[in-house]
């Protein structure tokens, strides 16, 4: 389990200090082996993508980190992942954090091997006549912490700021780990989230360390092990937090399935897939009296991962708003007051308020954005590719600087075809990829067509040509504001009195108190969504999913299917559940 090796802190669902009988130890090792292998795969993929100049057709790519969290915030984590890659790619050959990740991979491989060996020894106790003491445990058994130490995975605390550390490289690598949230926020403000440029001071702090010295001192590094990483603030230079984010995201992506069910096409997490993977890595058919493994620990693991990532996403929004929102105090208040946590521990701010932060980020940093529109005509569906450029016009205008929803943000769309599309198919640069649908109707018509529709490969289709013209002629900023205004604020039901009030009333009240007039703007956008052909209507275009991926890899995966499926990373074989 990922949460055994990389503790989820306050989000943990299982105690690591409770003793487990010797007969129960194999089933915990069963989960540790799978968690270790998933972590190895996640971190190896991260390093491979960091160094990628041309996309590897056999790599699962950035989408392997497209976690299903249950907070309808895929658009946030695509940006979080882009920020991590942008920052680490600048110093991939010398960053101490990257070296720690490399050492972690080596360490994990040894731990997985040790777990196999220890499991075999425990299962053979009856045959070998060895008692628990011979294996380093009492008759009462071992706690998870003791099991981890037995197989070579220890978990020291993070160094304190006052602790004297002689290794210069180590100081650099953990400086952000031990910093207070205010220090983390200050350091975050020095680097643009959407940009690949770092300040001179940041570059110097890394380059002052000679890579040769790092190699010579590597043997003196302490064991690379993980204390509990916080989700209370966002700091991409905190290697504890980054590794947690990558491993957790990978797990919640690997065991995710998209299904058509009950008139909804959406994602869910499948514990059975994780259980089956565990069985392939370590046969769970243990001899008597060892207890057989169950799916329950996996369900608790997934809940902890979702809780952590959702909280981390809220922290990322707060960090980003402090850098990019025109009125930082106002946006901080809106985010804080709209944050809610579900009964299952998933946290979220209002989806609409969160988008206002994202809108400013995209407008001020202009990240590469690709839009994939599936247009349903009477003969099937078409795949249309657009580039989107988002920017701020007339930055110095006072009204524009103080408004929560500035009117001077513009989306410029370009339809990509022919030679340009061929060039895009070779691009390995990670893009924010927005996928959505268009049909002359609403969600019910889309869901009725979805299971049986196939590709209509006809470039002369008049219906599709008109759709592309309409999308290019539309005010995309206005459309997207309407999409999020019509969207649910939370991916879960509110509780208590707020459930009776309804989420719209709750969020409007928060807005009216903090930013008078904002709720009226939201309601106006929501009211025009159908007329614009979005939200409840799919006549123009409605967003479905947002991921980070290179255009070359995404388009290759898109071309493999003649069905209108949501494209996912090819980590596990995905069945087209609900399609006919």
Alpha-carbon gap, residue 358 to 352, rounded angstroms: 10
Strand partners, 370: 387, 433
pLDDT computed for residue 194 by the predictor: 42
- Band (pLDDT 50/70/90 cuts) for residue 215 is very low
Strand partners, 436: 373, 543
Residue 265 pLDDT greater than 50, yes or no: yes
- Band (pLDDT 50/70/90 cuts) for residue 227 is low
The larger pLDDT score, comparing residue 315 to residue 9, is at 315
Residue 167 pLDDT greater than 60, yes or no: no
Burial of 229 (0-12, 13-18, 19+ CB in 10 A): buried
Lookup: tokens for 542:
């409605």
Burial of 161 (0-12, 13-18, 19+ CB in 10 A): exposed
Give the pLDDT mean for 444-451: 90
Closest to 565 measured CA to CA, from 200, 257, 326, 206: 257
pLDDT computed for residue 1 by the predictor: 80
pLDDT computed for residue 172 by the predictor: 32
pTM of the model: 0.86
Strand partners, 543: 436
Residue 493 pLDDT greater than 50, yes or no: yes
Residue 45 pLDDT greater than 90, yes or no: yes
Alpha-carbon gap, residue 159 to 180, rounded angstroms: 13
DSSP state at residue 24: G
In this predicted structure, which of 75-89, 253-267, 442-456, 517-531 has the lowest mean pLDDT? 253-267
- Band (pLDDT 50/70/90 cuts) for residue 229 is low
Closest to 548 measured CA to CA, from 96, 11, 45, 186: 45
pLDDT digits 0-9 by tens, 52-90: 888 888 889 999 999 999 999 999 999 999 999 998 887
CB 566 within 8 A of CB 265: yes
Q: Which residue has the tokens 């790092």?
A: 214
What Cα–Cα distance (Å) separates residue 423 from each residue in 10, 299, 370, 389, 426?
A: 47, 43, 13, 18, 5
Lookup: tokens for 100:
């720690």
Lookup: tokens for 22:
């010797």
Residue 231 pLDDT greater than 80, yes or no: no
pLDDT computed for residue 93 by the predictor: 60
Q: Which residue has the tokens 């300040």?
A: 199
Give the pLDDT mean for 544-565: 92
pLDDT computed for residue 101 by the predictor: 86
Give the pLDDT mean for 288-317: 94
Task: Reduce the DSSP state of residue 570 to 3 states and report it.
Answer: coil
Give the pLDDT mean for 306-323: 96
Residue 13 pLDDT greater than 90, yes or no: no
pLDDT computed for residue 228 by the predictor: 66
Give the pLDDT mean for 229-241: 82
Cα torsion through 473, 568, 352, 483, rounded to 10: 30
The larger pLDDT score, comparing residue 193 to residue 284, is at 284
- Band (pLDDT 50/70/90 cuts) for residue 197 is very low
The larger pLDDT score, comparing residue 270 to residue 401, is at 270
pLDDT computed for residue 367 by the predictor: 96
CA within 13 Å, CB half, 558: 21
pLDDT computed for residue 207 by the predictor: 29
- Band (pLDDT 50/70/90 cuts) for residue 205 is very low
For the stretch 95-110, what's the b/e string if a residue is b when 16 or more beta carbons lie within 10 angstroms of its beta carbon? bbbbbbbeebbebbee
pLDDT computed for residue 190 by the predictor: 34
Residue 199 pLDDT greater than 60, yes or no: no
Give the pLDDT mean for 33-37: 96
Residue 21 pLDDT greater than 70, yes or no: yes
Closest to 328 measured CA to CA, from 352, 360, 351, 355: 360
Give the pLDDT mean for 536-552: 95
Residue 485 pLDDT greater than 70, yes or no: yes
pLDDT computed for residue 349 by the predictor: 97
Q: What share of the chain is helix, strand, coil (3-state, %, to 5)?
A: 50, 10, 35
| Mean pLDDT of the residues in the chain | 83
- Band (pLDDT 50/70/90 cuts) for residue 548 is very high
- The dihedral through the CA atoms of 354, 356, 359, 365 has a sign that is negative
pLDDT computed for residue 61 by the predictor: 94
In this predicted structure, which of 95-104, 223-232, 351-360, 374-383 has the lowest mean pLDDT? 223-232
Cα torsion through 90, 251, 353, 334, rounded to 10: -90
The larger pLDDT score, comparing residue 549 to residue 564, is at 549
What Cα–Cα distance (Å) separates residue 524 from each residue in 281, 379, 521, 527, 530?
A: 54, 35, 5, 5, 12
Burial of 51 (0-12, 13-18, 19+ CB in 10 A): exposed
- Band (pLDDT 50/70/90 cuts) for residue 577 is low
- Band (pLDDT 50/70/90 cuts) for residue 221 is very low
pLDDT computed for residue 393 by the predictor: 86
Q: Which residue has the tokens 């989960």?
A: 31
- Band (pLDDT 50/70/90 cuts) for residue 223 is very low
Strand partners, 141: 138
In this predicted structure, which of 98-112, 164-178, 501-515 has the lowest mean pLDDT? 164-178
CA within 13 Å, CB half, 572: 20
Cα torsion through 573, 258, 348, 519, rounded to 10: 150
The phi and psi torsions of 431 (rounded to 5 degrees) equal -120, 150
Phi-psi sector, 517: left (phi>0), alpha (psi -120 to 50), beta: left
Residue 571 pLDDT greater than 70, yes or no: no
80: Cα separation from own chain's centroid = 7
pLDDT digits 0-9 by tens, 83-133: 999 988 877 666 677 888 888 999 999 999 999 999 999 998 866 677 788
């Amino acid at each position: 389990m990922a949460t055994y090796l990389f503790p989820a802190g306050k989000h943990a669902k299982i105690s690591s200090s409770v003793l487990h009988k010797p007969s129960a130890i194999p089933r915990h090792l069963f989960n540790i082996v799978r968690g270790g292998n998933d972590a190895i795969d996640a971190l190896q993929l991260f390093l491979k993508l960091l160094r990628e100049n041309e996309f590897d057709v056999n790599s699962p790519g950035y989408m392997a980190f497209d976690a299903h969290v249950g907070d309808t915030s895929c658009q946030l984590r695509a940006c979080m992942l882009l920020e991590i890659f942008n920052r680490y790619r600048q110093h991939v050959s010398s960053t101490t954090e990257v070296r720690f990740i490399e050492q972690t991979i080596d360490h994990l491989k040894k731990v997985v091997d040790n777990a196999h060996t220890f499991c075999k020894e425990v299962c053979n106790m009856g045959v070998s006549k060895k008692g628990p003491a011979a294996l380093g445990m009492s008759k009462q058994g071992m706690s998870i912490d003791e099991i981890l130490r037995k197989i070579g995975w220890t978990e020291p605390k993070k160094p304190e700021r006052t602790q004297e550390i002689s290794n210069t490289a180590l100081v650099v690598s953990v400086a952000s780990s031990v910093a207070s949230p205010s220090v983390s926020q200050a350091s975050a403000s020095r680097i643009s989230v959407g940009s690949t440029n770092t300040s001179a001071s940041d570059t110097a702090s890394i380059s002052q360390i000679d890579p040769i010295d790092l190699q010579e001192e590597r043997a003196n590094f302490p064991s690379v092990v993980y204390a509990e990483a916080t989700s209370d603030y966002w700091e991409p230079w905190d290697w504890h937090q980054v590794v947690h984010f990558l491993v957790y995201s990978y797990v919640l992506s690997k065991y995710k399935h998209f299904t058509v069910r009950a008139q909804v096409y959406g994602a869910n997490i499948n514990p059975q897939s994780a259980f089956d993977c565990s069985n392939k890595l370590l046969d769970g058919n243990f001899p008597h009296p060892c207890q057989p493994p169950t799916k329950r620990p996996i369900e608790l693991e997934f809940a902890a991962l979702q809780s952590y990532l959702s909280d981390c996403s809220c922290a990322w929004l707060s960090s980003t708003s402090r850098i990019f929102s025109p009125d930082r105090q106002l946006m901080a208040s809106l985010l804080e007051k709209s944050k809610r946590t579900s009964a299952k521990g998933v946290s979220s701010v209002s989806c609409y308020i969160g988008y206002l932060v994202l809108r400013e980020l995209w407008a001020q940093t202009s990240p590469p954005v690709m839009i994939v529109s599936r247009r349903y005509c009477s003969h099937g569906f078409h795949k249309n590719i657009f580039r989107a450029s988002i920017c701020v016009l007339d930055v110095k205008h006072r009204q524009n600087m103080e408004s929560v929803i500035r009117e001077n943000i513009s989306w410029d769309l370009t339809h990509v075809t022919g030679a340009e599309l061929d060039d895009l198919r070779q691009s390995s640069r990670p893009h924010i990829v927005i996928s959505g649908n268009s049909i002359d109707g609403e969600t019910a018509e889309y869901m009725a067509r979805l299971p049986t529709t196939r590709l209509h490969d006809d470039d002369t289709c008049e219906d599709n040509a008109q759709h592309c013209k309409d999308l290019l002629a539309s005010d995309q900023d206005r459309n997207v504001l309407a999409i999020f205004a019509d969207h649910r604020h939370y991916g879960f039901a509110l509780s208590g009195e707020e459930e009776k009030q309804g989420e719209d009333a709750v969020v409007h009240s928060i807005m009216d108190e903090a930013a008078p007039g904002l709720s009226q703007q939201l309601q106006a956008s929501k009211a025009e969504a159908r007329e614009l052909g979005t939200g409840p209507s799919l006549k123009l275009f409605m967003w479905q999913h947002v991921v980070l991926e290179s255009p070359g890899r995404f388009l290759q995966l898109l071309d493999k299917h003649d069905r209108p499926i949501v494209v996912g990373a090819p980590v596990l074989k995905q069945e087209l559940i609900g399609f006919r």
